[in-house]
């Protein structure tokens, strides 16, 4: 009822929406973000092969409006389906873990990881009173 007045008001967003890509070391380097609009809404894509513990919180100290964090590496690029191991009864527990790691991460375990896993498996085996793991 009555007269209606329509008025167009231009909207100017306070922040842009952008993507930032690189290793954790790169995107946290002062040279990288100096002069950048760090207040923008961001999707950060880390290319590190290993996940960075608590990366979201750490990155928010530089990029306070970080909306999304994802990884682009060998593990995330793999689209393979994880199936059961072939003839698992013929494999050692260590070999089964190595196979699983390879399937999940699209790369073999590092020697340090293998040594740690072997030591832990040996502890478990000995604690179960079955004798040494061979």
Long-range CB pairs of 63-66, under 8 A, 24+ apart, other chains included: 63/20, 63/33, 63/38, 64/38, 64/39, 65/15, 65/39, 65/40, 65/41, 66/42
Alpha-carbon span 9 to 114, nearest angstrom:
63
Render pLDDT for 47-59 as a digit per residue (tens, 0 to 9): 998 889 999 999 9
Render pLDDT for 19-46 as a digit per residue (tens, 0 to 9): 999 999 999 999 999 999 999 999 999 9
Which tokens hold the place of 86? 């072939």
Burial of 59 (0-12, 13-18, 19+ CB in 10 A): buried
Render pLDDT for 78-103 as a digit per residue (tens, 0 to 9): 655 555 556 777 788 888 888 888 77
Average pLDDT over residues 62-83: 80
């Amino acid at each position: 009822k009555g007269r209606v007045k329509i008025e167009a008001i231009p909207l100017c967003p306070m922040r842009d929406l952008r993507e930032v890509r690189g290793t954790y070391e790169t995107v946290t380097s002062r040279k990288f973000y100096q002069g950048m609009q760090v207040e923008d809404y961001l999707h950060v894509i880390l290319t590190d092969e290993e996940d960075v513990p608590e990366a979201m919180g750490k990155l928010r100290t530089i990029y306070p409006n970080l909306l999304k964090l994802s990884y682009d590496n060998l593990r995330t690029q793999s689209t393979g389906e994880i199936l059961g191991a072939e003839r698992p009864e013929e494999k050692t527990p260590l070999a089964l873990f190595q196979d699983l790691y390879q399937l999940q991460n699209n790369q073999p375990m590092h020697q340090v990881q293998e040594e740690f896993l072997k030591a832990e498996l040996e502890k478990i085996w000995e604690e179960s009173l079955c004798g040494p793991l061979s």
